[in-house]
Structure 1
Amino acid sequence: MDTFILAYAVIFFFGLAIMLRCGIRNARGVFIIYFSAGCVYPYIVFSTEGVIPTFLRSFLDLSITPYVGFIATLAFLITAASSAFSLRPIHYDVSPMRIRVSRLETLCFFALIFFAIYVALSVAYAGSVQNALLAAYARVRTNSTLANIRSIFFWGNIVFSTFAFYGMRFSKPRFRTRALVLFSLLTAAILSLVDGGRAVFILFLLSLAAPELLRARTISLFIFGLVGGAVVLGVSYLMLSWRYAAQSAQILSDGGFSLAGALNGLEFIDHIQVSIQYAERFGYNLGETYLNAALSFLPRALFPSKAVPLAAQVRGYLFGDETGGIPPGLFGEAYISFGIVGVILISFIFGRALLASSTLCKRAVHANCPVRFAMAGIMVPLIGFTLVRGGLDIGVLRVGLPFFWIYISVLMATNKSNGSRNRLGLRSNQISIYR
């Protein structure tokens, strides 16, 4: 048995106690669940059986796994501590921000336009609808500008449809408007199912139940977690089966894919370890990852020398090709950049993001605010899961684009007031979730 596990358990439970005291009906709760499933459980298996249960296990140097456990638990503790304090009082007594009924059809119109553009780009890239579906499920990385630019319209559809849904929930629009909202939601569900992957599809569905989840009693959340876990397992199994079929993966022909395999990819302690081994092999890149992430919006057709994502480079290190990606994750890429110092810094910054999500969720509940519920439904899983999983390397697009469209949606959807306005036409407390 690993002799360090007791010390790591103390660090983890200390950080857990801090987060539980501060409240977990926000991105903290998502992060706790993901960290427990992706780091704590695999490390317990390692300490008892001497192996990490992951498809990357053949690449892992188990002699440094105890050090990886230290890095992971240190990141968890610093994140918890950073998310627990504010330099100034946080006020939750805010005015509700209403989504104007007259804007619902506009939101739906743009959502449907984005869906149509996404489909058109997919067909132009793949040659046919059938090939586009197969390419989406195969999830093979491409340098095609047509294929990569689809993310803009993908997230535009998701965000605008979500805001339209919450506008409908908190008002009584006419039948035509309700039909448009439901149809735009259908297109968002289709895009999430086809091209978003298991995580995006499941989190999209959960985002529509933000008010219920944020107001639920603890026992209700527990029951929901058990039922939801079973549903996630089933959906994950189906989606991975379809993906492997699209890839003509050997695992299907060998009969090696089981229901337990549906949890494949949820571990991330192995990605942290691969990142440490990658840094030992190639050295620290001193923040080059973040510079490349900031430039990821630039089209490769105009900048052919743009670096490939770090996730693709790590895959190349492991498998010898860059056709896909092995994301180091938020903490792994920080280690590749600056070692343990980078992990400490990014953990502190990430903790502040968790605090912001907590503030947003509490204000949504206190004010019964449809705009903040819509924002929370989208942002909480993005911060607590997607950002941790993908890091800034790919999170700039997967998290940055939704945040951009959220900002645009707020500008388009909120009520006007006779109060003081800035040049964007919104009062200051309608722009910032911190006030």
Structure 2
Amino acid sequence: MGRLSKALNLLMLIGLLESTGLAFAEEKTPPKIDTGDTAWMITATALVMLMTLPGLALFYGGLSKRKDTLNTIAMSFVAFCIVSVLWIVYGYTLAFGADIGGVIGSPAKFFLRGVGVNSVADAAKTIPEYIFVAYQLTFAAITVALISGAYIERMKFSAWVLFSILWMTFVYLPVAHWVWGGGFLASLGALDFAGGTVVHINSGIAALVGALILGKRREMTLIPNNLTMVVTGVGLLWFGWFGFNAGSALAANGLAGVAFINTNTAAAIAAIAWMTTEWLLFKKPTVLGLASGAVAGLVAITPAAGFVNVLGAVIIGLLAGIVSFFSVAVLKPKLGYDDALDAFGIHGIAGILGAILTGIFADPSINEAGKGLLYGNPKQLLIQLLAVAVTIVYVAITTLIIFMIVKALLGLRVDVENEMEGLDESQHGEKAYNL
């Protein structure tokens, strides 16, 4: 009997050692890259790239005057190119590197040093880090490009190039780190699933500040030169937005599915809401209004896409369509600022709205990381309000400083003759239409 007891104890000891060893081995096993997640994130990255080129470029280009079409497109094009280079050099590491004081990331990965074929980012452990780098690059690029809509038809192209470099460096990178890179807003618990704060409030406030500094265009009337191009651009933006929002799940999973359906729902209801409001007030439902409403809905659902249920998406889309319409049709004329393509009126306003509503409608049954006011957590709404306020103040002040630097070095506006001639010929020596 004693021998049997000793044998059982020995077996138990061996089992304990084996289980400990297995647990230790599991801890040391590096994260496994998932091919399904990787395939989806490569696709999502390409979709978000499509949003800038050609989506936003066509949308903005079709809205501008015929003599300024190419210059407007070029502003989006060059922004994408500039950010693509700077992101690899220092953008990625400062936005997503190890946190330094809650303010900025570590410079350890300059020129992607230390990023290997099989390495993964802390935020996305089932896809190659190179894919995460590229995905986040496309977000930075479209954020800079969005701002240009407020500056078209009067800003020197050289000034825009320098502004893009400085703004990405001193505005986008810190804000992205605060919210997504482990900075102080992330530590407070601010929710931003796909860029309501980082992309849309960021770009919208910069658009407003720049429009005020640049002053009004000499020909403020804006009749789109090509509405077909506008609708094509919005269609490409909507299509690409699935990569923007659903891709922010960083995996091919149920959360991506929620973000996907929420994105489509909010865009559709906002387009209908804008169109209906315009129809009731001005007696005609314009195609431009329908397109603008869709963009407003896409913007507003962006911070909430992976946190709210479908009913929340409907309410967010409905409010986005109505509020953004009045910001463009009533607020802008009343205040008199020249936000040419309504970068602030749509992206800024809908971004603020979406960020705040996320704090109300975040449903923990959709995403346990978010619990809003309606689900018993009023603190989340206060955190969202704080994140919005901090972002607005920082972006406004820093954008103002950047404009002062650009003005001192290059000047901001083209001269009167060049503006009247059109920026296509005066800045590029080309025409969009040689008819």
Q: TM-score range by the shorter chain?
A: under 0.3
- Say which one has the larger Rg: 2
Higher relative contact order at CA 8 Å, sep ≥6: structure 1 or structure 2?
Answer: 1
Query: What is the TM-score of this pair, normalised by structure 2?
Result: 0.26
